[in-house]
Amino acid sequence: MLTLASKLKRDDGLKGSRTSATTSDSTRRVSVRDKLLVKGTCKVHFPDPNKLHCFQLTVIPDEGYYQGGKFQFETEVPDAYNMVPPKVKCLTRIWHPNITETGEICLSLLREHSIDGTGWAPTRTLKDVVWGLNSLFTGEDCDTRQADSPVFTLSFSLFKDLLNFDDPLNIEAAEHHLRDKEDFRNKVDDYIKRYAR
């Protein structure tokens, strides 16, 4: 079975042997984590350096309907974290089946109580939230040429519920997508030009 860690280790071996035998496990873990963090499509900004529990995440999709847009999310980590999920709101107006135009987000892992077991759990991390938000922008129109990549496989298996339009928060956007994909794409493009640059 191919795991992400073994693939990354093999890829590192192909680039040449390690320069030092003293490379620590923590350095190697950081490397794996960095490679997992969404291919550079996400950026974090702390508006107030004295409030590290409040930050903004910018997602800049490089594929799919939302490619070329810049989508801002406000994240607040509550005092009870990690027993409760962070509070996340989309600050960018968007035409999306899982995000309302007022910024509410339908993302299963942000649900405190979930019947299907995909909601928040104390074992979840902020990295999972970043992955989940990024995954909202891949889906029906994503480039599947990367489907054999371990990162794509990991993302798909963790967030496959985000790839369908069957359980939308913004019902009008989901119905629009089902009715006329080309017109849906045009409306998404219009929203990107008007609100997400």
pLDDT bin (cut points 50, 70, 90) of residue 41 is: confident
Check residue 16 and give its pLDDT.
Answer: 52
pLDDT tens digits, one per residue of 132-148: 898 888 765 443 334 44
Selected residue with higher pLDDT from 115 and 168: 168
Q: How far apart are CA 28 and CA 144, in angstroms?
A: 28
Residue 22 predicted with pLDDT over 60: no
Check residue 8 and give its pLDDT.
Answer: 46
Contact 64, 141 (CB under 8 A): yes
pLDDT bin (cut points 50, 70, 90) of residue 40 is: confident
Contact 139, 67 (CB under 8 A): no
pLDDT bin (cut points 50, 70, 90) of residue 10 is: low
Mean pLDDT of 5-14: 52
Catalytically active residues are 106
pLDDT tens digits, one per residue of 80-132: 998 999 999 999 999 999 999 999 998 888 988 776 677 898 999 998 899 88
pLDDT tens digits, one per residue of 49-81: 999 999 999 999 988 899 999 999 999 999 999
In angstroms and rounded to an integer, the radius of gyration of the C-alpha atoms of the chain is: 18
Residue 167 predicted with pLDDT over 80: no
pLDDT bin (cut points 50, 70, 90) of residue 168 is: confident
* 0.75 surpassed by pTM: no
Check residue 138 and give its pLDDT.
Answer: 77
* Angle, helices 126-135/25-36, rounded to nearest 10 degrees: 30
Check residue 166 and give its pLDDT.
Answer: 72
Check residue 32 and give its pLDDT.
Answer: 43
Residue 151 predicted with pLDDT over 50: no
Residue with tokens 């956007």: 173
Residue 12 predicted with pLDDT over 70: no
On the 0-12 / 13-18 / 19+ scale of CB atoms within 10 A, 137 is buried
